[in-house]
Every structure is written in C-alpha cells, then in structure tokens.
Structure 1
Amino acid sequence: MSDQKFFAQPHETEWTELGPGNTRRVLIHTPELMQVEFGFEQGAVGAPHSHPHVQVSYVAEGRFEVTIDGETQVVEQGGSFIVPSGLTHGVVALTRGRLVDVFTPMRQDFV
C-alpha cells in the first residue's frame, strides 16, 4: 500500500494566519505538485514576491487585482492566472475572496 494521499477533505487541514486579512491552508501535495487555498478579506494584500515554482491560480471567490511581472489585471470568480518561475507577482483583494493555487514542484516552505 502506498503512502501517497489521493484525497483531501476540507476538515483535514488547518488554516494558517499569514497577516492582516490573509490565511492559507495546504490541501494536498506530492513532491512534484501542491494545491493550496488562500483566504483574503477585502483590501488584504498578497505582497509582491517571486519563487522558483510555477504557479497557477483559480479565483474560487471574489475579485482580485493581480500583478505579474509589472502587468496588472482584475481577475474575478471563475478566472485564472499563471505565474512562470521567478516572476514577481502579487494580489490585492478587491472583495473578500479565495484563491486556489497549484505549485510545481511543491512548496517545501509551506509544510
């Protein structure tokens, strides 16, 4: 039997407070891939940063001003964006919302 986790239920993971109006919970991961949910209160900021991981984000709820490598767009519920490795990116929550991010490889710094 494999140690690989195939399923994740929402009650299985704890939310981590990141700063004013920001929370995060790791949903599921393998060494190659990770899914993470972020919660934002209206006006909360995901400060500009970069990392070596490729990231794809899905707006599960709300509206976000998203900046990637100096280009800014508003992305609403149901929209997505992708961040290539090494590019500076950040978000501002225009409304209360949630992002579901997938990283490859996994973010070791999140576990």
Structure 2
Amino acid sequence: MMPDHYTLPDDITWTEVAPGNRRAVLSHRPEMMLVAFSFEPGAIGALHSHPHTQVSYVAEGAFDVTVDGITTRLDAGSSFIVAPNLVHGVVALEKGLLIDTFTPRRDDFL
C-alpha cells in the first residue's frame, strides 16, 4: 500500500472537461494541487477566472495563452502564472499537455 503522498500512473483518473480537453488531478493537499490537462489540436481551455493562484508549465505542444486580455504563444518548456481572479484561457495549437499547480486546492476538481 502506497502512502497518501505518492500518486502512481495507475491511480490517475482522467475527466473530460470539453471536447478535446481532459484533466487529471495528480496530487493534492488543502493548500496546493497539481493537475495535468491534455489537449487535442484546436481544443480550447475557455476563458475563465477563479480565486486560486495558478502556475502552469507547458510540458508538451504549443498554446496561445491569454491572461488578463494579453495573448502569448507558448511552446514546451514555457510557463505562466495567473493571479487570483484574472481571466485566462488557452487554445492548443497542436496536441499538448499543461501541468498546473493551484493554491489553495481546487476543491471543485475533486
């Protein structure tokens, strides 16, 4: 039996968020959460806001990322940060993977 502070690939459950976009909660505690978002080419992470600070790492692919009305093209190896309540979203230009950290945890994802 694995302690709670480890997550193995077989423990991960993917949830469809929108067409071509799915997420998996990788690890979490009340004060922080790590989430993977997988995108098919052209999939959209719709503009939205939330009270959490978010840091995102582009693990694979390329995205047009909009934060607070400014859109920037980001490729694998890039990252971005979103302050609480700022409107943000992404468009996948190719198949891609974002790794997001939220503080505090996004209870709506559990």
Q: Same fold per TM (> 0.5)?
A: yes
**Partner of residue 18, structure 1:** 17
Q: Unpaired segments of 5 or more residues in structure 1?
A: none
RMSD: 0.9
What TM-score, normalized by structure 1, do the two folds share? 0.95
Dislocated runs of 4+, deviation >2 Å: none
Question: 2:8 maps to which residue?
Answer: 9
| In the alignment, structure 1 residue 62 sits paired with structure 2 residue 37 | no
Shift of 1:13: 1.3
Query: How much does 1:6 deviate?
Result: 1.6
Structure 2: how far apart are the matches of 1:5 and 1:81?
Answer: 28
Structure-2-length-normalised TM-score: 0.95
Aligned to 1:75: 74
- Residue of structure 1 equivalent to 2:29: 30
Amino acid of the residue matched to residue 29 of structure 1?
Answer: H
SS at match of 2:10: helix
Aligned residues: 108
Residue 5 of structure 1: how far off its partner (Å): 2.3
**Amino acid aligned to 1:22:** N
1:94 Cα shift?
0.4
1:93: which partner in 2?
Answer: 92
